[in-house]
Structure 1
Amino acid sequence: MAGHYLMANDSTTFNFVFVGFSGLQEKFYTLFGSLMFCVYSISLCANSIVIVIVLKKKQLHQPMYIIIANLAFSDLIFDTSTLPIIISKYWFGAESISFSGCFIQMGFIHSLNCLDSLTLLLMAFDRYVAICKPLRYHAIISSRTSIFLCLAAWFAATSVGIFVMTWGVVLPYCGPNRIKHFYCSLSMVVALSCVDSFSIRKNGLYAGLIMHMGPFSLIVVSYIIILINICAITRLENWQKALNTCITHWFVITIFYIPRIVDYGYQAWGIPNADIAALMICIYSFVPHMSSPIIFCLRNKEIKKSLENGCRQMVCFR
């Protein structure tokens, strides 16, 4: 039996198969694959534009924009590591992934999810200092400090991803290989193990709660303090200016965290339908990555102005 387990964990002999939406009829595969292709194309273009604008424009080499570019880069890697596989499944029937490929993807997914939470926390910290301690802003947060904080977030998130991945990779897999999901997440993969994985799935849920709800709690506290300080501002134009700088972040935070909170509620009480679980995961995994750079481009005056100038230059060049 031990030898059989060892062979099952050999990446050359064991593959996982993505089920995705089990209730989706085959005649709709091309349509759904096209939808995912559109999502990936929008995410790829929008996040790339944000990264290029921030890197190219010297006036955007400021802490807030560096953090925004960091979020866009994280989302770009996440979507590139997941969406092409989903598209291939529904367009070409390529629905399997190797054992090693699955756990490499798992490491990326959990690392980047954690990184997004930490990056949103950095955004909230930046807004807290800018609004509550404006005279000390440049002394507390500089471009160099923001780069260091982003690198620290990458290190912490990568450590979490590797740690979570090792929980699953050491288990034996010798039987069912159909993942009721679109990508390799810990909870879905370890459920296929030959041994009881309940404790690992429970620990994975707790790790997810800490990884996301911890930063979310700090974000909520920081914005409560920000709102209190905004309400204390007497001049109307200053009040509106301070509020406008936060609205964009609130949009991004809402679409990132609210679907996750709902999903954690489903997991805590038991998900009645695998397709509902897959839908929730699609919403909180890909919608924020596609919409957040668009929100930043539309709501942030500096990014919007740089984008408009770039478009004018292209038109004039043609």
Structure 2
Amino acid sequence: MANQSDVLKIILVGFPGLKEEYYVPVSLVMLLLYLASLLANGTVITLVVWKKNLHKPMYIIIANLACADLLFDTITLPKIIAKYWFGVTMTFPECLLQMFLVHYLNTTDSYIFMLMAIDRYFAICKPLRYSSIISNKVVAISCWVCWVVASVTALTALIMNSQAPPCGYNRINTLMCTNIAVTALACKDVSIIKKTTFAFSMFILFVPLSFIILSYITIINIIRVSANKENWQKAFYTCTTHLCVMTVHYAPRVFVYTANEVGLVFNADLNVFILCLYSYIPHIANPIIYCLRNKAITQTYRSFYLRIKKIGVRDHLSSSTVTK
């Protein structure tokens, strides 16, 4: 048990069973994950902002998703890497802030996935009315609403957990400060906090997920009836790929929240590994699935790359001429 002054410091343990000699390899894997996310999501955001031909509803939604994913990785991965490298700790207010941002950005992801499914529904099922219903302005406002509404539930968790600070144990056996981890540190009765946050979590997960499943079922059914075999197979593959990504986002979270609510206990290292899988892998996969397989974005990326390459060659030739 820590004394009262130590409680002001929160220690992120990471993988509880990890031996010290494995700190560097594991932290390097995390660094690679962060760099991959930075490259993939940063490229998507840059291309969508830079190229006017990508100023379209679907790409605006994708850019918002990439922004949320990149921010999530930035507020979590460098912190746990610094812990493994330098033994960095956190204050309780810093932990609360990270908890707020973690739940805020996860909730934003959930709402943006729903917005993406709605956009695809109108694009495929109502193509003649799509441009009149889904405009850049409508999508921009919708994305803004997603960010604002997501902050409300995250702020609720922040306020409730701030009323139950840790008074003894100050070690969090995972990679980041989450509502479940912070609540476990409190000495007072937190049953109300757990029930309230669980209700909010289920609402955040199931309401968007219901829209997503309904949208894609309708899309697949319409494509199956109206399209030829080749287009049907291509569209079915695209839809199922999107659904797989969203399943990875939603299913583990529902399982973890439900298991915590009913009191199921699992191996701590396995919990952290699952957290890594559903938190970070989708953030790298999303740009590939939604963007790099998209012809408009790949063509834009090629033109961007060729332009940078030409500038580099021209600068090299200029420097060579000056040297001579």
Unmatched segments (≥5 aa) in structure 2: 314-324
Residue 46 of structure 2 corresponds to 52
The CA distance in 2 between the partners of 1:23 and 1:245, in whole Å, is 39
1:255 is displaced (CA, Å) by 2.9
Task: State the TM-score, normalizing by the size of structure 1.
Answer: 0.91
Query: Following the alignment from structure 2 to structure 1, what is the Cα–Cα distance between the partners of residues 243 and 207?
Result: 17
User: Aligned equivalents of 1:207 and 1:14: distance in 2?
Assistant: 28
Residues 114 and 157 in structure 1, CA contact (< 8 A), matched pair in contact too: yes
Letter in 2 for 1:216: L
Is residue 312 of structure 1 aligned with residue 306 of structure 2?
Answer: yes
CA distance in 2, matches of 1:314, 1:234: 40
Cα deviation, residue 242, structure 1: 4.3
Letter of the structure 2 residue corresponding to residue 274 of structure 1:
A
Distance in 1 of aligned mates of 2:270 and 2:189: 24
Whether 2:197 is the aligned partner of 1:201: answer no
Deviation readout 1:278-312 (Å, 9 max, x if unpaired): 11111111111122112233311111111122122
Mapping of 1:193-232 within 5 angstroms? 193-232=186-225
Does 1:170 pair with 2:163? yes
Percent identity over the alignment?
42
Residue correspondence of structure 1 range 89-108 to structure 2 within 5 A: 89-94=83-88, 96-108=89-101
Match of 2:148 among 155, 159, 162: 155
User: Following TM superposition, where does structure 1 have runs of at least 4 consecutive aligned residues deviating by more than 6 angstroms?
Assistant: none
Q: CA deviation at 1:241?
A: 5.8
AA aligned to 2:281 is: V
CA distance 1:218–1:286, shift in 2 (3 Å): same
Q: Unaligned regions of 5+ residues in structure 1, if any?
A: 1-6
- 261-270 vs 79-88, which moves further: 261-270
Contact 1:109 1:185 in 2 (8 A): yes
Q: 1:299 to 1:250 in 2, by over 3 A?
A: farther
1:141 and 2:148 correspond: no
Check whether the contact 2:99–2:158 (CA below 8 A) recurs between aligned residues: yes
Distance 2:172 2:227 in 1: 56
In the alignment, the residues of structure 2 paired with residue 206 and residue 140 of structure 1 have an alpha-carbon distance, to the nearest angstrom, of 33
1:290 to 281, 284, 290: 284
Please tell me whether the aligned partners of residues 263 and 280 of structure 1 are also in contact (alpha carbons under 8 angstroms): no
1:23-64 superposed Cα distances (whole Å, 9 cap, x missing partner): 111000000010000000000111110000001111110100
Q: Which residue of 1 aligns with 2:104?
A: 111
Distance in 1 of aligned mates of 2:191 and 2:55: 47
- Taking a change above 3 Å as real, the CA distance of residues 172 and 310 of structure 1, as seen in their structure-2 partners, is closer
Match of 2:121 in 1: 128
Q: Is the 8 A contact 1:18 1:182 kept in 2?
A: yes
Alignment CA distance shift 1:256-1:13 (3 Å): closer
Matched, 1:72 2:66: yes
RMSD, matched Cα: 2.1
Relative to the length of structure 2, the TM-score reads 0.89
Q: How many aligned residue pairs are there?
A: 309
Report 1:235-314 matches (<5 A): 235-236=228-229, 238-240=231-233, 242-243=235-236, 246-264=239-257, 266-267=259-260, 268=262, 270-314=264-308
Q: Aligned partners of 1:226, 1:92: CA distance in 2, in Å?
A: 50
**2: CA distance, partners of 1:240 / 1:145:** 31
